[in-house]
Amino acid sequence: MKICIPTESNEGRSAKVYEHFGSAPYFTIMDIEKDSIEAINNTDQHHSHGMCQPMNALIGKKIDAVVTGGMGARAVQKLNEGGIKVYRAIPGTVADIISQFVKGELEEIAIQNACAQHGCH
């Protein structure tokens, strides 16, 4: 299973989670089965509201889940339609998130509990 986490840096397991998916500087992808990690630069981090295309940076990565501090309803819907589940991140690092994810302790984000106008619950 491959999990994508928006991060502030490309420091692997030590990278801190970025609070919102579309404007994250990096996407850190953790392959749980292979215990491998990859950081990808988000070339679309500076975009107009509602115009982000963060998945363009992730084409071909075949991710199964996204864990993020926040994401709008439209983005959640698009990911879900592509078979990708979305979970709400806890503050911390990639290592913290993976630990919580494996334990099944992260809340799934649905359209109903997604961020509105970049303001999260």
Per-residue pLDDT of the chain (121 residues; tens, 9 = 90+): 999 999 999 999 999 999 888 788 999 999 999 999 999 998 765 444 454 555 565 767 899 999 998 787 888 888 888 899 999 998 899 999 999 999 999 999 987 767 654 445 4
Q: Are 120 and 70 in contact (CB under 8 A)?
A: yes
Helix, strand, coil content of the chain in percent (nearest 5): 25, 30, 50
pTM over 0.85: no
Give bridge partners of residue 116 from the DSSP assignment: 119
Sketch out the chain's domains with CATH numbers.
Answer: 2-113 (3.30.420.130)
